[in-house]
A and B are shown apart, each in its own frame.
Chain A
Amino acid sequence: MLELQNISFHADDKDILKDINLKIDDKFVAITGPNGSGKSTLLKIIMGIITPTSGKILFDGQDITDLAVNERANLGISFAFQQPVRFKGLKVKDLLGIAAGEGVDVTKDCKYLSAVGLCAKDYLNREINDTLSGGEMKRIEIAMAAARGGKLSLFDEPEAGIDLWSFQSLIKVFENLRRVTNGNIMIISHQERILEIADKIIYLKDGVVDRYDESAKIMSDLNMGRYGCGCAYSRKEGACNG
């Protein structure tokens, strides 16, 4: 489905990604690793938001390296931002309509919002501006990705900035998304429960793929269940006191 060939990214005199080679076919793949390991950069390169310094990206066999963001979107790739973008004037229903590509459809919009724990009646006419909390923005961002559907949904650390209560329901959202989606999901996460439901985990470290294996194997190696602090990689690096 997705193949990254010799992807490198260099910026500010630093090698952010170094010669990444990956073949991804599994339905649910999690990307994890320490801060600054290049996870978000990798996901943005797949979406076309960042242009790699070198390398090639193949999607369903097609070379998409030189395609613009919207061209990749129209091939079926979607992206949920770690920090969702706010718009003055545009409403939740506007963006859901664009995402679904079929204008406003209250019944479908209701389905997308319900899936992330929001009531359509309260949110469809809300502007996507500063009046929405960070947690609400995250949920709407995920609803947009669900509305978009498509072959490959990319999620950049959806749990970041979400309170614990919201987080519990977020896990359910992804468990559900994993069950119902016909496409593939790639998600950056540090959370044990997200990593557990993944088919495979990519562990990035210092801009290279340190591990790429079945979730169960990586989780077992890292004794994730025993620590249960939700950031085993940080523990492994000696940076977590949790």
Chain B
Amino acid sequence: MDDLEKRMLKEVAELDSLPVGAFNIRSNGASEARNSTANIQIESRESGDGINVYFKDGTKNESCHIPVIISKSGHKECVYNDFFVGENCDVVIVAGCGISNCGGHDSQHDGIHTFHIGKNSKVKYVEKHYGEGTGTGKKFMNPTTVVHLSEGATMDMDTSQIAGINDTYRITKADLGPGASLVMHDKILTNFDQTAKAEIVVELNGDGSSCDIISRGVAKGESQQDVVIDIAGNSACHGHAECDSIIMDKGVIVATPKLKATCVDASLIHEAAIGKIAGEQIIKLMTLGLSEQEAEQKIIEGFLR
């Protein structure tokens, strides 16, 4: 792995060296390094287009890192990663993709992650997408995340796309069994003429299930974002969605809430707000010595934290 790839790895997975625990590092379409542990088994799919990761029942306090790096201009791939988490687990899964494109050809990563989470298991999932490079080739990233939560299972997702992706279509679909819980923090920053589309669809199927979806977006330059949060309450459940956005320059954001209740005991709430940075926030930080630009940057940094 060269210095560029190491830096990308640091950017998307906060890794300075090979991680402890299970990992699979994919670089330009090939597995660069892989490690399975006694409880976490990583296998290539027979079709060769991704991996299957198996977590034994009762696996606790273990992590699995599966970062993807693309540094060859023009490299395009569609990868399927399936996670089979047994019962009573408590694990952390860190994904993420970085594209560095200094060439003239478009690069693209489409990652389809499917999670089968067993009874009473707890999963923390972190996914960070990042693009860079001065070439004319574009960077495309289209992640799809499908989550099946069994009875009593919980998933805490922290997904973000911070910079440098020209166009993205992010799909998240989740279905929850009885007592299952999903918390999702999704953050997107777009700039220049970038576009981002996000669809988050949650089916609360089991009694006592709940979701809390927090989506935050910042659109700078002439970038455009289109966010749809769609929650279906099919049981005695609780669903909450909060879609907060900041627009700057000539940015455009469309936020579409959709709530559907098919059970009289379903309780669903959607909050959405779009606006520029409040002037009083900038002034407050200026009274602490920051310039207007520094204040804006600090506010966005906090907003997308």
Query: A residues within 8 Å of B by Cβ?
Result: 47, 49, 68-70, 73-74, 78-79, 81, 84-85, 87-91, 94-95, 98-99, 101, 144, 148
Chain B's closest residue to A83 (CB) is B280
Residues of B within 8 A of A148 (CB): 288-289
* Contact (Cβ within 8 A) A87 B287: no
**Contact (Cβ within 8 A) B286 A73:** yes
In the complex the two chains form, is A49's CB within 8 Å of B289's CB? no
Please, how many residues of chain B have a CB less than 8 angstroms from a CB on the other chain?
Answer: 23
28 cross-chain CB contacts under 8 A: A47-B287, A49-B283, A68-B292, A69-B283, A70-B289, A70-B291, A74-B289, A79-B287, A81-B280, A85-B278, A85-B284, A87-B299, A87-B302, A88-B244, A88-B302, A89-B301, A89-B302, A89-B303, A89-B304, A89-B305, A90-B298, A95-B288, A98-B288, A98-B289, A98-B290, A101-B289, A144-B288, A148-B289
Which residues of chain B are within 8 angstroms of A68 by Cβ–Cβ distance?
Answer: 286, 291-292
Known contacts A88-B244, A88-B303, A89-B303: does B298 contact A98 (CB below 8 Å)? yes
B286 pairs with A69, CB closer than 8 A: yes
- Kindly identify, within residues 226 to 282 of chain B, every residue whose CB is under 8 Å from any CB belonging to chain A: 244, 278, 280-281
In the bound assembly, the distance between CA atoms of A90 and B290 in angstroms comes to 15
B281, B289, B292 pick with most chain A CB within 10 angstroms: B289
The main secondary structure of chain B at its interface with chain A is helix
Inter-chain residue pair count (beta carbon < 8 A): 63
Q: Is B92 an interface residue (CB 8 A)?
A: no
B287 and A69 within 8 A (CB): yes
Contact A90 B299 (CB under 8 A): yes
- Which residues in B have their C-beta under 8 angstroms from that of A79? 287
The smallest beta-carbon distance between A19 and chain B, in angstroms, is: 26
CB-contact partner of A90 in B278, B283, B286, B302, under 8 A: B302
Q: Is B25 an interface residue (CB 8 A)?
A: no
Q: For A47, A70, A99, A148, which residue has the most chain B Cβ atoms within 10 angstroms?
A: A70
**Nearest CB of chain A from residue B93's CB, rounded to whole Å:** 24
Q: Contacts A90-B299, A94-B302: A85 and B281 contacting too (C-beta < 8 A)?
A: yes
Residue B285, interface by CB 8 Å: yes
Tell me, in angstroms, the Cα distance from A88 to B245 when the chains sit together. 11
Contact of A98 among B280, B285, B305 (CB under 8 A): B285
